[in-house]
Structure 1
Amino acid sequence: MRFLVSTIGSRGEAQPVTALAVQLKALGNDVEVVAPPDFEELVTSNGLDFTPVGPMLRTFRSADLKPGDLARLAEESVREQFRVIGAAGQGADVLVAGGALQHSTRSVAESVDAHYVYASFCANTLPSPYHAPPAMLGRVPVNGTPEENIEQWERQRPLFGHARETINAERAKLGLGPVGDVRDHIFGDDPWLATDPLLGPWPGPGELVTTGAWLTNDQRPLSAELEAFLDDGEPPVYFGLGSMHGAQDAAHQAVEAARKLGKRVVLQQGWAGLRLADDARDCIAIGEVNQQALFRRTAAVVHHGGAGTTTTAAAAGKPQIVLPHMYDQYYWGNQVERLGIGRSAEAVTTEVLAETLGLAEEAGKVGAQVRTDGARVAAELLMKV
């Protein structure tokens, strides 16, 4: 079978679609991954075919947008997606859209008579009366009654529809009729949920196809410098903001909080280019890293609250502090608090870090229950659609 797996999101979406593609290929299928150009090495290093779509996300900053830019960028993104995925999708049996704002994948699937699957990496990005929607455009919804939650979902619906005319214009070129509701069109009739059932369960109503989180089996060794640092003392606190363009002050505050508790720090620079304030031996700054291997050797993990990082920290059995910035990250902060394995906070203080370190025993218990076979489960299910 031939599969096309696509995303236009950050690493939190590129990583799981790559994990799925690896499993599909291992089962003997022809697989192509379409993702932003930032993730070419991630995809190709796993022996997969890669097609870039859209601009480099690493250099994109929403804070730089001017009035009217959002609508223009949305239209440009829709046209680019139809062009790239339309070409890559020829001959595909199944097209999988991983994550939000996949404006063209379902239309391309219709045009080539292929099966379409939309997969979410967080339960609260799919409508339910039992949770509020994700944070969008600076608004952070708060869980309420079922009626209040549905009202919040309805208020967000127009945010998906700002490119409807462009979508329908591109669909017309493929000989397809117009769509009315863009959100429902993207999600499809039977969306999948690719989250760990303990960390991010589906609250209902109705049943979804749930597979477990799509995780890679990262075999990359840690650098010699990082290995030496880890061997030279007690397990450190990890701090990283992944694909977020976070404030430098947040890193400095975390380092100071850790030092007051006698803890060392591993600072991942990430897309924010975070830096250490000094060259003291109790801290080390690193670049791209095998988080699975590193997290197992830490005392706690401080991060932005992406689905992948949250799951990787949980699977490592380590307590975590979530510093949410946007979208589903507030949800994941709530989930680690619900399970008693971490805290959600605006900043890392000595008090918050001390509380979190005290959750190590419970984090270890949860870590033993986190599933790691989600990508394989999904690949096997896809071969039966």
Structure 2
Amino acid sequence: MRVVLCTYGSRGDVEPLVGLAVQLRALGAEVRVCAPPDEEFGDLLDGVGVPVVPVGPSARELTAAAPPPSSFPRYAAELIAGQLDAVMGAAEGCDVLVATGMLPAAAGALSVAEKLGIRSLSVTFQQLGLPSPHHPPIAYPGRPFPPGVTDNRVLWALDAESINALFGAALNTNRAAIGLPPVDDVRGYVVGDRPWLATDPVLDPWQEPADLGVVQTGAWIRPDARPLSDGLEAFLGAGEPPVYVGFGSMPLHASKDIARVVIEAVRAQGRRALVRRGWADLDLIDDRDDCFVVGEVNQQALFGRVAAVVHHGGAGTTTAAARAGAPQVVVPQAADQPYWARRVAELGIGAAHDGSTPTVNSLSAALRTSLTPETRVRARAVAGTIRTDGAAVAAKLLRDAVTQEKPPMSA
């Protein structure tokens, strides 16, 4: 079985594919991944021996540039064209293509599968991109929903209109270039008939509309056996468990003083701080020995040894902290992150910060909630319910779908 996994986005769009690739290779599949050319993504895939095909511009540079909404159609056209150029060669001879990541890029990858006549599958790492009467869609920047409209079905219809307006011309121009007919419903084309939801059912419970047929596999977790650095081990061993602070692939444009804010808030609780640089380039603010800064780090090895995890609310970090039983403070920045913040609060495993720009006082208040014994007990209890086999489940479903030549069944 030959599989090509395609994405464009941040680390949260790439790392789950690494987990799936590992499980597919364990089943004897030949796997390659099409992903942005950022060095950290190549390192992830090189680390598990999976070939990577670079697609499009640097995801980090595009995110840092924060293009205005008016430029979305132009960027969409470039992303789709990049998918057609790179994925066409990578997918030749494959049995199945898996598409995820930014919607226009996924549309481009799925168009390649259509052109080549191979099986394709659409996957999302958060349910808010799947139409449902049980939740509203996320409004695109620059295209807010009309005030007062609360009917989710109406909002999803408006969402489809926005997506067609932003990405329809870009997709159909590129499709015409490879001899494919136009698509009149871009979102419907990407979601498809039987989309997969690669999230944990406890953290992200899916309520099934009768007509969508979602397959929820559990989160795709990359196995990580890397040791922590000697310097980090020494810091962890020099005192009480610290509070980890990291915002992943979020550049935090609106929070220029974020390092000072988070460190002072952690110190206000009498705790040590462990700061991850990330795309926000966080760093220490002085030379006191109660803080330590790290770059790339094994969260699976680390999160079970910290007092709490302060983060942006990406699906991957939320799942990693929950799996480790670490209390969380989620400071959501964009997209689905307010949803994950809310789920953390609803489950009682941490606190949802109100808004994307914390102050020392607001973050201190959220930390006080997360650092209570009650939250710690609840976080440890929920940790025992988090599935760890999502990638293995997905790999077996893919294998069965290809070898038995029938649609993948529910997990």
Q: What's 1:125 paired with?
A: 129
Matched, 1:189 2:197: no
Say whether residues 1:262 and 2:276 are aligned partners. Answer: no
Q: Over aligned residue pairs, what C-alpha RMSD do you find?
A: 1.9
1:149 aligns with 2:165: no
Match of 1:310 in 2: 318
Specify which of 159, 168, 191 is matched with residue 162 of structure 2: 159
Query: Are 2:236 and 1:230 equivalent residues in the alignment?
Result: yes
- The 3-state SS of whatever aligns with 1:266 is strand
Which residue is equivalent to 2:86?
84
State the number of aligned residues.
383
- Does residue 1:70 correspond to 2:72, yes or no? yes
Deviation of 1:253 after TM superposition, in Å, equals 1.6
Identify which of 269, 272, 276 aligns with 2:284: 276
**Cα deviation, residue 250, structure 1:** 2.6
Q: Is the 8 A contact 2:329 2:367 kept in 1?
A: yes
Distance, in Å, in 1 between the alignment partners of 2:220 and 2:327 is: 21
Q: TM-score, normalised by structure 1?
A: 0.95
Confirm whether residue 360 of structure 1 aligns to residue 376 of structure 2.
yes
Moved over 6 A (4+): 138-142
Task: Give the helix-richer structure, 1 or 2.
Answer: 2
8 A contact 1:134–1:141 mirrored in 2: no
Counterpart CA distance in 2 for 1:106 and 1:57 is: 20
- For the 8 Å contact 2:6–2:35, the answer to whether it is kept is yes
Q: Which residue number corresponds to residue 244 of structure 1?
A: 250
**Is the Cα–Cα contact under 8 Å of residues 246 and 275 in structure 2 kept in the other structure?**
yes
Q: Is residue 99–residue 118 contact of structure 1 (8 Å, CA) maintained in 2?
A: no
Give runs of aligned pairs for residues 1-385 of structure 1, distance below 5 A.
1-38=1-38, 39-61=41-63, 64-65=66-67, 68-101=70-103, 102-137=106-141, 148-161=151-164, 162-206=166-210, 207-246=213-252, 247-345=255-353, 346=355, 347=358, 348-358=362-372, 359-385=375-401
Q: Distance in 1 between matches of 2:214 and 2:114?
A: 22
> Which one is further off, 104-113 or 85-94?
104-113
Cα displacement string for residues 1-53 of structure 1 (whole angstroms, at most 9, x for unaligned residues) = 10000100100010001111111111101101000011111111110010011
Q: How many angstroms does 1:150 deviate by?
A: 2.1
> CA 1:319/1:64 → structure 2, altered by over 3 Å: closer, same or farther?
closer
Using a 3 Å threshold, how does the CA distance of structure 1 residues 172 and 349 change in structure 2: closer, same or farther? closer
Supply the AA of the counterpart residue of 2:363. Answer: T
Deviations 1:108-167 (A, max 9, x none): 11222211110110112211111122353177889x99x622222222223322232332
Q: CA deviation at 1:67?
A: 6.8
CA separation of 1:141 and 1:204: change in aligned 2, threshold 3 A: farther
**SS of 1:296 mapped into structure 2:** helix
Distance 1:197 1:233, change over 3 A: same
Matched to 1:323, the amino acid is: V
- Note if contact 2:277-2:295 (Cα within 8 Å) is conserved in structure 1: yes
TM-score of the superposition, structure 2-length normalised?
Answer: 0.89
Counterpart AA for 1:278? D
Could you tell me whether the CA contact under 8 Å between 2:123 and 2:196 is conserved in 1? Answer: yes
CA contact (8 A) 1:319 1:357 kept: yes
CA shift in 2, pair 1:329/1:179, >3 Å: same
Question: What residue number does 2:404 align with?
Answer: none
Counterparts in 2 of 1:35 and 1:63: CA distance versus 1, 3 Å: closer
- Asked if the contact 2:23–2:391 (Cα under 8 Å) also holds between the matched residues in 1, the reply is yes
The answer as to whether partners of 1:254 and 1:349 remain within 8 angstroms in 2 is yes
Secondary structure (helix, strand or coil) at the match of 1:288 reads coil
Name whichever of 341-350 and 234-243 sits farther off. Answer: 341-350
Q: Is the contact made by 2:259 and 2:285 (CA closer than 8 Å) also made in structure 1?
A: no
Give distance in 2, aligned partners of 1:306 and 1:67.
22
Q: Is the 2:304–2:325 Cα contact (8 Å) retained in structure 1?
A: yes
Q: Which moved more, 1:281-290 or 1:240-249?
A: 240-249
Separation of aligned partners in 2, 1:354 and 1:138: 36
Percent of matched pairs sharing the same residue: 47
Amino acid of the residue matched to residue 376 of structure 1? A
Once the two structures are TM-superposed, the CA of residue 213 in structure 1 deviates from its matched residue by 0.1
Give the SS at the match of 2:400. coil
